[in-house]
Amino acid sequence: MYDLAVKYGTIVTPDAAYIGNVYSKDGVIQAVTSVEVEEPALEMIDATGQYVLPGVIDTHVHSRDPGPTHKEDFFHSTQAAAAGGVTTLFEMPNTNPPVSDQKNFEKQKAHLEAQAVIDFGLWGIYLGGFNEGELERLGETGIIGFKHFWGYALNRDTYQLVYDYDPKDPNVFMPAHEGQIYSAMQTIAKTGRLLAVHAENHHLIQEETAKIKQAGGSTYEDLLQARPHLAETLTVQTGLQLAERAGVHFHVLHVSAGESVEMIRKAQQRGQRVTVETCPHYLFLSAEDYETVGPRMKIFPPVKYKSDQAKIWGGIADGTISNVCSDHAPHTREEKEGDLWSIPAGSTGVETMLPLMLNAVNEGKLSLEQVVQLLSAGPAELYEIDHQKGKIQAGLDADLVVVDMEQTCVIDENELHSKSKMSAYHGFNVQGMPVHTIAKGRVVMSNAQVTTETNGSLVSPKT
C-alpha cells in the first residue's frame, strides 16, 4: 500500500517528458511506472493533461527570521514557497544573529525547523575579520555554502550589514578587503563548500551615487547610473581572479549585467569552477518597465536594460547560468514608500517564480525541461543535495509539483502568502500555474490552499 499516487501526468526531467505514474511511501518515491501497478495507494492525484515536475528548490531566500520579522518570518515564507511549487528553500545567513559559527548554525536550525512548512538548507556567512577564524568549523556543519556580501560592513551591536558605513565609526566592522577574501577563499576551498557573493563594488557605487545625488538625480535611470554595470563586473572579475588562484568554487549570486555573464562564460570555458544564478526580475523586467512597475522593482543589484536581459537569456540558453532563484526579500508596504534613494531594495519572489517561468515556457522562451533543470535538478546538483532532491526518481524524496500549463492567473499581491503583500509583478497575466505541491509525499498545497503543518527539516549536502 502506497501513501500517494500521482497518475497519468507527463513527468518532466531535465531532458525528457513522458507520461507516467509516481508512487510514494514514507516521503520517498517508491516507483515510477508507465503502466499502473496493482498495489493501491491511500491517496491519488489525477494529473491527466498536466505536468509533474520535481519540486522547486529556491536557493536564495531572505526570510529575515530572526531579525526584522515584521517584514517576513519563516512560517510565512515557507507557506508562500509551498503556494509557489517550491518544496525546498535555502535561507540566507544575514539574520540576527547571523549564521557565522557552529553555535549560531545549530540555533538557527532549531529555530527554523519549528516553523518550516517545507524542507530548507542554511547558508553560512563570511564576514571578514569578524568570523574568519570560524570558517573551517562552520564548513563542518550542514551549511549549503558560504555567502559573502562583498563590500558591506557589519554593525558590531546590531549584527546588521551596513552599506553606507562611516570608516571611522568604532562600532563598525570594516568590510573584508581583497587580501582577506583571498585568504578566506583558500580556507573555504578546504571545506569543499562554495563561496557565493553579492557582487557590487561598494566604493564605486558610493562615489557615483554621491555625484548623481549632488546633481539632483532622482529617477530610475539615475539609480542605474549610480550603481552601474561596472560595479558588478568589477567585483565579478576580481572575484574570478582571486577564486581561480585560491582554488575555490566561486558562485555569483543574482547576476544582473549582461557583461558579467560573458565574463563567467569565458572563465567556465577555460575550465574555472565558477557558477552563476539569476532571478526572475532580471529575466522578466528591465529598466523600461519602471514607469509601470514603480518602486516595487527597486532591487539590488538593480534590474538593468533590455540588452542585459537578452544576454542573461543567452546565458540560460547555453547553460552558462546554473539556476534561477527568487532572492525573496520582502519589505512592508510602508517601507517601500518614499523617494527612490531611501526606500529599501528587495521584493517578494518565492511564490511568483514558478508561475513566471511557466508563463515563459508558454511564450516559447524556454522549454519545460529547462525549467526543471534551472529550478530543480540544477540547484540540487550544484549544492550537492541530489542524493535526496531535484529529480523524479525512485529512492528520492517525493517532492513534486503538478502544474497546469493551461491555467491562467492575474498576479495579485494581496493574495500572496508572505507577510509582505508587495510584488513587482502585481497585475501581471501569466499562463501556467502549480496546482498541487507535494513535499516529502505530503500535499502541502492544492488549488491555492496551503497547509499549516510544519514538517520541514534541514537538508544538507552529501558528504
Give the interface with a second copy as residue ranges (CB under 8 A): 13, 15-16, 18-21, 25, 28-35, 37-39, 167, 177-180, 182-183, 201, 203-208, 211, 228, 230, 233-234, 237-238, 241-242, 245, 269, 271, 318, 377, 381, 386, 391, 393-396
State which residue, 114 or 317, has the beta carbon closest to a second copy.
317
Among positions 129-158, residues that touch Zn ion (CB under 5 A) are none
* In the complex, least distance from residue 11 CB atom to a second copy, rounded to whole angstroms: 8
Three-state SS at 315: helix
Q: Which residue's CB is nearer to Zn ion, number 147 or number 311?
A: 147
Closest by CA position to 123, among listed 407, 315, 383: 383
Window 205-224: residues binding Zn ion (CB under 5 A): none
Closer residue to a second copy, CB minimum distance, 111 or 182? 182
In the shown chain, the binding pattern of residues 297 to 336 toward Zn ion, with x for contact by CB under 5 A and - for none, equals ------------------------------x---------
β partners of residue 403: 51, 434
Which of Zn ion, a second copy, none lies near 198, with the C-beta cut-off 5 to 8 A by kind? Answer: Zn ion
Closest CB to a second copy among 33 and 455?
A: 33
Q: Which is nearer to Zn ion, 30 or 88 (CB)?
A: 88
Q: Check: CB of residue 150 under 8 Å from CB of residue 125.
A: no
Q: Which is nearer to a second copy, 297 or 374 (CB)?
A: 374
Total site size for Zn ion, rule CB under 5 A = 2
Nearest-approach distance from CB 73 to a second copy, in angstroms: 35
- Are residues 114 and 458 in contact, defined by beta-carbon separation less than 8 angstroms? no
Please tell me the total number of residues recorded for the chain in this structure.
463
Instruction: Report the alpha-carbon distance of residue 144 to residue 384 in Å, rounded.
Output: 8
Helix, strand, or coil here: 232? helix
CA distance 251 to 243: 10
By beta-carbon proximity to a second copy, the closer residue of 46 and 178 is 178
Cα–Cα distance list, 153 to 148, 174, 213 (Å) = 11, 5, 22
- The stretch among 194-202, 264-272, 370-378, 392-400 that binds Zn ion (CB under 5 A) is 194-202
Facing residues of 18 across strands? 11
- Nearer CB in complex with Zn ion: 7/281: 281
Q: How far is the CB of 380 from Zn ion (least distance, A)?
A: 20
- Grid coordinates 577555460 are at which residue? 270
Q: Is 198 in the site for Zn ion (CB under 5 A)?
A: yes
Q: Which helix (H) or strand (E) holds 29?
A: strand 28-33
121/17 Cα distance (integer angstroms): 28
Whose CB is nearest to Zn ion? 198
If binding is defined by CB under 5 A, does position 229 make contact with Zn ion?
no
* 72 makes contact with Zn ion (CB under 5 A): no
Name the one residue in this structure whose C-alpha cell is 513534486: 400
Q: Which is nearer to a second copy, 170 or 216 (CB)?
A: 170
CA dihedral 317, 318, 323, 324 (to 10 degrees): -20
Say if residues 111 and 75 touch (Cβ distance below 8 Å).
Answer: no
- The residue among 434, 419, 454 whose CA lies nearest residue 80 is 419
CB of 301 within 8 A of CB of 232?
yes
Intra-chain end-to-end CA distance of the chain, in Å: 33
Residue 221 neighbours by CB distance under 10 Å: 12
CB of 181 to a second copy, least distance (A): 9
Sign of CA dihedral 419, 162, 235, 97: negative
According to CB under 5 A, which residues from 362 to 421 bind Zn ion?
none
Shortest separation between residue 65's beta carbon and Zn ion, angstroms: 15
Nearest distance from C-beta of residue 15 to a second copy, angstroms? 7
Instruction: Work out the burial of residue 434: count CB atoms within 10 Å of its CB; fewer than 13 is exposed, 13-18 middle, 19 or more buried.
Output: buried
Q: Which does 327 bind (CB under 5 to 8 A by kind): a second copy, Zn ion, none?
A: Zn ion
The nearest distance, CB 448 to a second copy, in angstroms, is 30
Q: Binds 63, which of a second copy, Zn ion, none (CB < 5 to 8 A, cut-off by type)?
A: none
CB of 348 to Zn ion, least distance (A): 12
Question: Which residues of this chain interact with Zn ion, rule CB under 5 A?
Answer: 198, 327
